Chains A and B, each alone.
Chain A
Amino acid sequence: INHIVHNGGLYKRPFNEAFEETPMLVAVLTYVGYGVLTLFGYLRDFMRQWKIEKCQNATEREEQKDFVPLYQDFENFYNRNLYMRIRDSWNRPICSVPGAKVDMMERVSHDYNWTFTYTGRVIKDIINMGSYNYLGFAQKTGACQEAAAKVLSQYGAGVCSTRQEMGNLDKHEELEKLVARFLGVESAMAYGMGFATNSMNIPALVGKGCLILSDELNHASLVLGARLSGATIRIFKHNNMQSLEKLLKDAIVHGQPRTRRPWKKILILVEGIYSMEGSIVRLPEVIALKKKYKSYLYLDEAHSIGALGPSGRGVVEYFGLSPEDVDVMMGTFTKSFGAAGGYIGGKKELIDYLRTYSHSAAYATSMSPPVVEQIITSVKCIMGEDGTTIGRARVQQLAENTRYFRRRLKEMGFIIYGNEDSPVVPLMLYMPAKIGAFGREMLKRNIGVVVVGFPATPIIESRARFCLSAAHTKEMLDTALKEINEVGDLLQLKYSRRRLVPLLDRPFDETTYEETED
Chain B
Amino acid sequence: QEKEELIEEWQPEPLVPSVPKDHPALNYNIVSGPPTHIITVNGKECINFASFNFLGLLNNEKVKSAAQASLKKYGVGTCGPRGFYGTFDVHLELEERLAKFMRTEEAIIYSYGFATIASAIPAYSKRGDIVFVDEAACFAIQKGLQASRSNIKLFKHNDMADLERLLKEQETEDQKNPRKARVTRRFIVVEGLYMNTGDICPLPELIKLKYKYKVRIFLEESLSFGVLGEHGRGITEHFGINIDDIDLISANMENSLASIGGFCCGRSFIIDHQRLSGQGYCFSASLPPLLAAAAIEALNIMEDNPDIFQTLRTKCERIHKALQGISGLKVVGESFSPALHLQLEESCGSRENDVKLLKRVVDYCMNSGIALTQARYLEKEEKCLPQPSIRVVITVEQTEQELDKAASLLKEAAQSVLN
Interface residues of A (CB under 8 A from B): 58-61, 63-64, 66-72, 79, 83, 90-99, 102, 105, 128, 130-133, 137-140, 144-145, 148-149, 152-170, 173, 192-196, 199-200, 203, 205, 219-221, 224, 227-228, 249, 252-253, 262-266, 292-296, 327-328, 332-335, 337-340, 349-350, 352-357, 359-365, 367-371, 374, 448, 450
Contacts and interface: CB of A to CB of B under 8 A. Distances in A.
Interface of B: 3, 6-7, 10-19, 23, 25-26, 28-36, 39, 41, 48, 50-53, 57-59, 63-64, 67-68, 71-80, 82-89, 91-92, 111-115, 118, 124, 138-140, 143, 146-147, 181-186, 211, 214-216, 244, 252, 254-255, 257-260, 267-270, 272-273, 275-276, 279-280, 282-285, 287-288, 290-291, 294, 371, 373-378, 381, 391
A220 to B, nearest CB: 4
A156 B36 contact: yes
Max chain B C-beta neighbours (<10 A), residue from A137, A144, A192: A192
Given A220-B279, A364-B113, 4 more contacts: A156-B35, A157-B67, A362-B25, A363-B140
Contacts of A148: 71, 76
A131 B84 CA distance: 7
A130 B50 CA distance: 42
B373 A156 contact: no
A328 B16 CA distance: 11
B45 to A, nearest CB: 14
A353 B143 contact: no
A166 B51 contact: yes
A59 B269 contact: yes
B79 A140 contact: no
A333 B12 CA distance: 32
Given A68-B214, A356-B26, A265 B13 contact: yes
A453 to B, nearest CB: 12
Max chain B C-beta neighbours (<10 A), residue from A71, A91, A130, A163: A91
A253 B6 contact: yes
A364 B261 CA distance: 10
Contacts of A138: 75-77, 79
A266 to B, nearest CB: 7
B69 to A, nearest CB: 10
B80 A349 contact: no
Contact of A152 (B10, B68, B215): B68
A161 B35 contact: yes
A357 B146 contact: no
B153 to A, nearest CB: 16
12 contacts: A91-B87, A140-B74, A156-B34, A157-B58, A158-B53, A165-B374, A193-B114, A332-B285, A335-B79, A349-B16, A370-B71, A371-B77
B282 to A, nearest CB: 8
Given A156-B258, A161-B51, A338-B76, A353 B17 contact: yes
Contacts of A220: 279, 282-283
A215 to B, nearest CB: 16
Contact of A149 (B72, B118, B183): B72
Nearest to B122: A224
A172 to B, nearest CB: 9
Contacts of B19: 349, 352-353, 356-357
Nearest to B40: A170
Pairs of residues from A and B, 5 with the lowest C-beta to C-beta distance, nearest first:
A193-B112, A195-B284, A353-B16, A58-B269, A168-B28
Contacts of A156: 34-36, 58-59, 63-64, 258
Max chain B C-beta neighbours (<10 A), residue from A145, A154, A159, A192: A159
A209 to B, nearest CB: 9
A157 B64 contact: yes
Contacts of A362: 25, 139, 376-378
Contact of A294 (B12, B35, B88): B12
Contacts of A203: 381
A96 B90 CA distance: 10
Contacts, number: 354
A469 to B, nearest CB: 9
A95 B74 CA distance: 8
Contact of A363 (B35, B84, B138): B138
A203 B140 CA distance: 14
Nearest to A450: B84
Given A152-B68, A295-B12, A371 B288 contact: yes
A337 B284 CA distance: 15
A374 B15 contact: no
A153 B16 contact: no
A157 B290 contact: yes
Contacts of A338: 75-77, 79
Contact of B85 (A92, A252, A293): A92
A71 B273 contact: yes
A364 B284 contact: no
A98 B34 contact: no
A60 B75 CA distance: 40
Contacts of B23: 356
A163 B114 CA distance: 13
Contacts of A72: 183
A144 B72 CA distance: 11
B243 to A, nearest CB: 12
A220 B313 CA distance: 42
B182 A68 contact: yes
Nearest to B124: A70
Given A295-B12, A362-B376, A60 B269 contact: yes
A93 B76 contact: no
Contact of B254 (A160, A200, A265): A160
Given A70-B216, A356-B23, A448-B85, A249 B3 contact: yes
Given A68-B183, A131-B79, A359-B381, A249 B25 contact: no
B139 A363 contact: yes
A98 B279 contact: no
B290 A152 contact: yes
B89 A356 contact: no
A93 B73 contact: no
A153 B68 contact: yes
A328 to B, nearest CB: 8
Contact of B35 (A166, A253, A356): A166
Contacts of A450: 84-85
A252 B4 CA distance: 10
Contacts of B391: 165
Contacts of B258: 156-158, 160
Given A61-B244, A140-B75, A359 B139 contact: yes
A98 to B, nearest CB: 5
B290 A166 contact: no
A58 B268 contact: yes
Nearest to A59: B269
Max chain B C-beta neighbours (<10 A), residue from A71, A91, A195, A224: A195
Given A161-B51, A371-B76, A166 B371 contact: yes
A82 to B, nearest CB: 12
B89 A340 contact: no
B280 to A, nearest CB: 6
B90 to A, nearest CB: 9
Contacts of A296: 12, 15
B212 to A, nearest CB: 12
Nearest to A339: B77
Nearest to B113: A365
A362 B294 CA distance: 25
A262 B10 contact: yes
Nearest to A57: B269
A177 to B, nearest CB: 13
A116 B349 CA distance: 63
A369 B33 CA distance: 10
Given A163-B28, A365-B113, A370-B76, A157 B147 contact: no
Contacts of B257: 158
Max chain B C-beta neighbours (<10 A), residue from A94, A131, A166, A353: A166
A61 B104 CA distance: 13
Given A167-B35, A294-B12, A132 B124 contact: no
B57 to A, nearest CB: 8
